[in-house]
Homo-oligomer: A and B are copies of this chain.
């Protein structure tokens, strides 16, 4: 949980834009529902980090009282906003790519051509489905500038653009490999 982990800042960022205090469970829901296309966190990360951020006074815990189930919700503090602001200013690292499809494709000469074609076609279908999802999200959030900031829409566009580029490349690659298969 040292210098490198982005988990604390994901939590601070989500609490910063949330219209109401959120529980650990809520935060996980937001991550899975809204930013899952470029980020993920598990409960095994979230709950310990919530405790840590509370100890650092970057978030404040509020026990939900009344007849409800045991539940704690969190809000971001001024100190937390400062910490988040500093992190946002730091130049983000180039995300290391570790791509299982590309890896297998690279070693394609050591298996049948049809295997590589199958992997490409399979990934292609999945990226087309993802593309459709991005388009649907973009359509759904159009004009709703209060709930969805322009920044959030930019990340959706990035996802869409990457899907498109991948699909184009994959389809071309399949054709290249089909020609290769015939010349054998």
Would you list which residues of chain A between 88 and 115 have a CB under 8 Å from chain B? 88-89, 91-111, 115
One of A21-29, A33-41, A132-140 at the interface = A33-41
Place the interface of chain A in its size category: 35 or more
Q: Is A149 an interface residue (CB 8 A)?
A: yes
One of A45-53, A54-62, A64-72, A160-168 at the interface = A160-168
- Among residues of B, the one whose C-beta sits closest to the C-beta of A120 is B154
Q: Is the CB of B97 within 8 A of A151?
A: no
Q: Is the interface of A mostly helix, strand, loop or mixed?
A: helix
Q: Is the CB of B99 within 8 A of A103?
A: no
Name the distance in Å between A66's Cβ and chain B's nearest Cβ.
31
10 shortest interchain CB distances as A-B pairs: A165-B165, A108-B151, A92-B100, A13-B107, A88-B111, A161-B169, A38-B102, A109-B149, A92-B101, A38-B99
Report copies per complex.
Answer: 2
Question: Which residues in B have their C-beta under 8 angstroms from that of A92?
Answer: 100-101, 103-104, 119, 123
Partner of A106, one of B94, B106, B110, B152: B152
Q: Is the CB of A100 within 8 A of B6?
A: yes
| Complex Cα–Cα for A149 and B113 (A) | 12
Instruction: Spell out A's residues near B (CB within 8 Å).
Output: 6, 9-10, 13, 16-17, 35, 37-40, 81, 84-85, 87-89, 91-111, 115-116, 118-119, 122-123, 126, 149-152, 154-155, 157-158, 161-162, 164-166, 168-169, 172-173, 176-177, 180
Question: Which residues in B have their C-beta under 8 angstroms from that of A169?
Answer: 157-158, 161-162
Question: Which residues in B have their C-beta under 8 angstroms from that of A111?
Answer: 85, 88-89
- Among residues of B, the one whose C-beta sits closest to the C-beta of A179 is B150
Name the distance in Å between A148's Cβ and chain B's nearest Cβ.
10
Question: Which residues in B have their C-beta under 8 angstroms from that of A173?
Answer: 154, 157-158
